[in-house]
Amino acid sequence: MKENRFYKTERLCSKKDFELLFSDSESIFVYPFKVVFRTTAFSEKEGLKLGISVSKRNFKRAVKRNYIKRRIREGFRLNKQPLKDVLREHNIGLHLMLVYVSKETMEFSDIEPKIRIVLEKVAKILSKPAGVAADSPD
């Protein structure tokens, strides 16, 4: 059985890491998430780090924001292993930020499949060889 815990080392906490993530990164959009990610040097303890953001503008009450973040963390925790395997295989680390952009709360049964799609897309992007254009005319 694979380890499914969400360790402290998998959380994006450092102000420096956030600044690097938003200054030099790629992004994709899968409703209800804007996903910002950046590759880093691989470390067994810090191969994958996640940050979660829920806008105070959309959800005034901290209770609602925390409720959504708990659902996102749980969906990530259950679906992170394939992405971790890709990172280990390619010997790279990843800083990942999930920004919740929807204006209404969603059920876990709606959020979890979206997180799975996000992680699959990121894994697909990272597993492409460097220097190969996605839409090459050849």
- Helix 62-79 to helix 81-90 angle (10° resolution) is 60
Per the CB < 8 A criterion, the answer to whether 121 and 83 are in contact is no
Q: Is residue 133 part of a domain?
A: no
pLDDT 10s digits, 75-129:
999 999 999 999 999 999 999 999 999 999 999 999 999 999 999 999 999 988 7
Q: What is the mean pLDDT of residues 12-26?
A: 90
Q: Is residue 2 part of a domain?
A: no
Q: Is residue 132 part of a domain?
A: no
Q: Is residue 53 part of a domain?
A: yes
Q: Domain range for residue 64?
A: 8-127
Chain centroid to CA 132: how far? Answer: 23
Enter the pTM of the model: 0.87
**CATH number of the structural domain spanning residue 66:** 3.30.230.10
If one counts the domains in the chain, the total is: 1
pLDDT 10s digits, 43-65:
777 789 999 999 999 999 999 99
pLDDT at site 2? 62
